[in-house]
Amino acid sequence: MTENEIQLKAIAALTALRGGVGTEYVSGLLGEVIPTQFLVPDTEDPAEVGVAVLDQLSEPLSALINGLLLAFETVAEAYDRTDPETPTDAILQALALSIARSTD
């Protein structure tokens, strides 16, 4: 799966969640970006095998995160252009404070 295809999956997942589609569907959609098979080196070194698997996981996960960030940034910019009473950065700061308070 290409980086663009993975980013499209991320945007589709967000769109589905906002549209009220069940979380099982969204989980399945996002699960499609995770490899189901891995190429591992012919070695007895578990660290080398772990690094090989991690390398193969990092690319799709990075593309997924990039897709989510791209979608968020696009929506946030469109929202901020409407001259809202509370801009996106203030909403994010309030969310961060809320999370910080709840973990104490």
pLDDT tens digits, 54-97? 999 999 999 999 999 999 999 999 999 999 999 999 999 999 99
Residue 60 corresponds to which tokens in the numbers above?
Answer: 């799709």
pLDDT at 103: 74
Res 8 pLDDT > 90: yes
pLDDT tens digits, 20-41? 998 999 999 999 999 999 999 9
Question: What is the pLDDT averaged over residues 44-57?
Answer: 93
Locus of tokens 């499209």: 8
Residue 73 corresponds to which tokens in the numbers above?
Answer: 């940034």
d(CA 18, CA 41): 42
pLDDT at 104: 61
